[in-house]
Structure 1
Amino acid sequence: MADTVTGCPAHASAPLPEYPMRRAAACPLAPPPAVEPLRAEKGISKVRIWNGGTPWLVTRHADQRALMTDPRVSNDDCEPGFPHVNAHRAQIAPHTPKLITNTDAPEHTRLRRSVNGPFIVKRIEAMRPTIQKMVDGMIDDMLAGPKPVDLLTALALPVPSLVIAELLGVPYKDHAFFQRNAGLVLDTSLSAEEAMAASRELGQYLDTLFREKLDNPGDDVLSEMAGRVKAGEMAHVEAVNMGVAMLIAGHETTATMISLGTLALLQNPDQLTVLRDTDDRKVIANAVEELLRYLTILQTGVRRVAKEDIEIGGVVIRAGDGIIFDLHAANWDPEAFPESERLDLSRPARQHQGFGYGPHQCLGQNLARLELQVVYGTLYRRIPTLQLATTVDQLEFDHTGTTYGVHSLPVTW
């Protein structure tokens, strides 16, 4: 029998909603329509996931912030009750080395400190001229080539792939290999065996490269981690798996934001004008924050588990209960962002949770911000007549990946 929730005052029973939820074809950039009533009615309610588990779904901005910084909420995916995204993640969890993505303090603190250096604002900002040159070169190629063009393959994917490859010290000539396998790892529709095979290939590739860095270090993140391994501050397997995680996260999400952000702006021409007509970095930076809020591309939620009983929002989350934070729902919470359904590039949106919140907030957020600032601040000024080469209803959206996006974005000018 299906689990039910009891409503008031009629005590009517209804099946628990399935999670993740699908966005509506008519409003592809908005949160799934089923999320809105959950946030409005309770903010914290039960949902059903792939294995029949019934974790709590947290949809309000304030509740998420409170729980994401609560030490009673664990990121350890080996804890009983942890609400894994799919069978693959559940299967590999006991065999995955401890990383910043699956540990709590103090282990998380140690690991995070070991890789924080290259991602601090000052070091990332120093990359701006290099990224600007990359973006300008790719736009030059677009303008010199045939029309229409797929923005995803011409610009959105190459920019972050080149940047993360350079930052990590990974040869860009291998980008087709790591892009393909990263996509397989993040595809929630694949079998555990298929996703694990892709994970192994990436792991073997990074392991070989990392061994080269141990012998011949360069000026890159893998070489920095190699130095920490030699100093006994990190284990070899920790460094390799950290490299895999950064390689996957470092290009997929930013590529999605470039293409989906462009689509959002083309659908809101008054807001596109703001970026097309300015070179003010503060205006551009604020626009990036609003687009991150408005789109919130993570569609499988941030997963956690309670280590102790927690009372919040009129419910008691018991020890061992799974917790899912739906970031898009929180970023469209009208209590935090009035008229949240409206894209407004002048909105002070820095308090969005597109990168999560608290000690586990995205390591690469400063890099992603810089890449988006350069692309959004350049593309529409250099190609002011940019437009879709198709209709929105003809676009194919990705409903199976960890992140939500389009498989291609044909544009012309």
Structure 2
Amino acid sequence: MGRMMEMGPAFEQVAEIFFYDLPYVFALPVSFLLLAILLVYVSRDTALRGIYCAIIQFLVTFMLWITMNSHIIHAALKDWAEWGWLALLFLYLVPISANYVVYAALEQERRRGVFWVIGLYGLCFVLATAGEALGWRGYDAMLTVYYGLLPPLEIYTFWQLWRSARQGNRRSRALLLPLVLLTVLGVFDGFNLAFGFTAVPTFFMPLGVFSFFVVVLQLQQEQLLREHQLEDQTVHLQYQAALARERAELDVLTGCRNRMSFEMALREGITDVRQTGRPLACLMFDIDHFKRYNDTFGHEAGDMVLKEFSAVVRQMLDKTKPFFRWGGEEFVILCAGLDLDEAAVLGNTVRRSVAERVNICGQHVTVSVGVSIWHGAFDTAEHLFHRADEALYAAKDAGRNCLRVEEPAGQAEVEL
């Protein structure tokens, strides 16, 4: 029993230190957690970097103030006499850093008022520091002014935040709770130090840091929304770019892909067949006596021939057989996976369908067709196209409205 009585004063002293540091024990890990979250996000969105940095500097200031007030740390480093001085120094810096967060969240037209609030807190800090430097215990002497400034200045800041929040600023709305809580707890701490409301004269303002979770969550939500908007904009831009590229590759009159697109597709097709070993066929079409339509019936009739011919052919092809207007009345189909005989079958099917279905000004439109096939590793795009062109001219020399395949398959028309 006597031993317990001997331990009584020591136990009471430990209990007092524990209860004094209880708000700091709760607040310091939360501050570290918030700081870690913000450091992860600060580099991800340049638009929010300003307010992220403002909250980071507040949390760093806040944690330093908490640390300097901890009795446990004081007891561990009891030989260092600067703890009390540093604790008061950071106490003066806390409202400056907190109002800078508000400054970063507000619209440009509302920042001027908060700038003057920060300036008044700064002036209070400068005067206190000057008094401290002159040996007048300036930090203690200015505490009455400091706690006297808190209510009116923070009410003004709250009013600016409230007006901003009513206009739809979500950052301002999220900051209302931390501002109110820190101010109320700060004013309570001032009166508690003066009048001793609690048995242990501790600071309760550190508990206000919990309210910053609301702000961080709001900023993360805003950042996610911005990222989704950027993704949507990227998809839209990609779609517009693809649409523009497709339009650039289309022949306006016929809706077929143009000559530039053909040259790109031919290179891609040859790259593919070199890797896969599949066959590749090239079919060239020339509308028979096209000049006669222009000379006899006018250019509008010639345009109609090109449009009707293209429409009929496109209806017969799938996406694996791209259709191009090479120039004038000449057209090309690339057929990956078709050998020479299969390509000839397709060419004759197209030729017959055009002759049956395309009739302009009472005249049946016919076409001549030339077919070539990829010869393997030693072949080239130029040779493939040249052989199809030669076969086309052979079909025209044979009387038109027929199909020829490349040499040495023969000069005879392939009728299938």
> TM-score interval w.r.t. the shorter chain?
under 0.3
Instruction: Select the structure that is richer in helix.
Output: 2
Whose relative contact order is higher, 1 or 2, with alpha carbons under 8 Å and at least 6 apart? 1
> Which of structures 1 and 2 has the bigger CA Rg?
2
